[in-house]
Amino acid sequence: MNPAVDMNITSQGIHPKVVNRTQDSFYSHNGKGINLTRVLRHFGMDSAALGFFGGFSGRYIVDSLREEGIPVHPIQVEETTRINIFLNDGSQEYKFVGEGAHVSPEAQQELLKLLETLPDFDYFTINGSLPPGIQESFYDEILEVCRRRGAQVVLVTGPAAVAPPPFVEVVPVVSAQDMFEAVSARQDWADFIFKAAAVADYTPAQYAGDKLKKKDGELSIPLNRTQDILKHLGEHRRAGQVLCGFSMETQNMVENSRAKLEKKNLDMICANNLKVAGAGFGTDTNVMTVITREGMEELPLMSKEEAAGRILDIAMGLMVK
């Protein structure tokens, strides 16, 4: 929703109070959503670009995409689409990135109406930063439009302290067996499965309805192995499905996570080290490494919402392949 023109400039040093001549300049239409659309087109998948465009830079992006054969549905805004400058002085690069053109409430409603009237589509992706004027609640409005058009999202969750996202089917569970049954019953129709729940590996062999009173001597509680949900999904997956697991480690994170990816027949696995500040539970941030069969990408410290968006980007790329 926040496209840009990237201007890459090379010069021999930067000096104050004089004219600094550049050796070359390269312009490109950019933005995460723009890039995803171009990748899909490269792999022969029909796609269209939606977004907010303004001024000469906005026209440049729209015209460039159409020259590549990509349909564009532009929403016009008053301000000029941002131009990001990347200046290389021969030894290092300086990055100047704008926040984007302001998007009025009227333009936002125009995009929602456009979504209502577009021909049927299989996927709708939102990529990149929110431009000025748009609040995060706009995501909820987009989700509502997609829900009315038939998008299906199922969240199988145990007891949680946060409210579930709007417009999704929530399946509450209590035990590991409950989750196994809920997930396995829905696995065939899902195109993407993200197995983020930290399910217990063992469960008590017997349950007591009342408090167990303290006795003299030692106490042993026999445990039974729970169903390995992720392994079951990997063994019974259908063709074309993208399966993503999660891995929490305290040592040998990459090696252990790669082994888990192979053992459980996954497409990708998101690994984090609980000893790293800002990663894991009890925080709004994460530091994650996403591992696929082709390689891995180390994500820096970011909000969990941003991390979720990057995970979706990578999963979509695997679906294209």
Spatial contact of 8 and 19, defined as CB atoms under 8 Å apart: no
What token pair was written down for 300?
């820096």
| 120: pLDDT strictly greater than 70 | no
Say what the pLDDT of residue 234 is: 95
**Which of residues 166 and 262 earns the better pLDDT score?**
262
The structural domains of the chain, with segments of one domain joined by +, span: 1-150, 152-202+222-321
Please indicate whether the domains covering 1-150 and 152-202+222-321 agree at the CATH topology level. Answer: no
Q: Tell me which residue of 141, 139, 137, 129 sits closest to 99, measured CA to CA.
A: 129
| Averaged pLDDT, 15-21 | 90
Secondary-structure percent of the chain, ordered helix, strand, coil, rounded to 5: 30, 25, 45
Q: Tell me which residue of 73, 90, 127 sits closest to 309, measured CA to CA.
A: 127
Give burial (CB, 10 Å; 0-12/13-18/19+) of 267: buried
With the CA atoms of 224, 225, 229 and 235 taken in that order, what torsion angle do they form, in degrees rounded to the nearest 10? Answer: -130
Dist. CA 99–CA 244, nearest whole Å: 32
Band of residue 151 on the pLDDT scale cut at 50, 70, 90 = low
| 117: pLDDT strictly greater than 70 | yes
What token pair was written down for 169?
């089917």
- The predicted-structure confidence for 47-56, as pLDDT tens digits, reads as follows 888 989 999 9
| Averaged pLDDT, 32-51 | 85
Dist. CA 27–CA 269, nearest whole Å: 35
- The predicted-structure confidence for 179-227, as pLDDT tens digits, reads as follows 999 999 999 988 899 998 888 899 999 888 898 888 888 888 899 999 9
- The predicted-structure confidence for 255-313, as pLDDT tens digits, reads as follows 999 999 999 999 999 999 988 988 877 788 899 999 999 999 999 998 887 888 788 88
pTM of the model: 0.57
Q: Give the CA angle between residues 277, 282, 286 to the nearest 5°.
A: 45
| 124: pLDDT strictly greater than 90 | no
Q: Where are the beta strands (DSSP E) in the chain?
A: 4-11, 22-30, 49-53, 72-76, 83-88, 93-96, 154-157, 169-172, 192-195, 202-204, 223-225, 242-249, 268-273, 285-292, 296-303
Residue 108 is given by DSSP the state: H
| 320: pLDDT strictly greater than 70 | no
DSSP secondary structure letters along 239-305: TT-EEEEEEEESSSHHHHHHHHHHHTT-SEEEEEETTSTT-SSSSSEEEEEEEESS-EEEEEEEEHH
**Which of residues 166 and 95 earns the better pLDDT score?**
95
Spatial contact of 311 and 291, defined as CB atoms under 8 Å apart: no
Q: Which CATH number does the domain 152-202+222-321 belong to among 3.40.50.10300, 3.50.50.60, 2.30.29.30, 2.70.150.10?
A: 3.40.50.10300
**Which of residues 144 and 62 earns the better pLDDT score?**
62
- The predicted-structure confidence for 50-106, as pLDDT tens digits, reads as follows 989 999 999 999 999 999 999 999 999 999 999 999 999 888 889 998 889 999 999
Q: Which range, of 117-131, 201-215, 226-240, averages the lowest pLDDT?
A: 117-131
What token pair was written down for 49?
């670009």
**Which of residues 128 and 52 earns the better pLDDT score?**
52
Q: Tell me which residue of 61, 64, 70, 63 sits closest to 43, measured CA to CA.
A: 70
The CATH architecture that domain 1-150 belongs to is 3-Layer(aba) Sandwich (3.40)
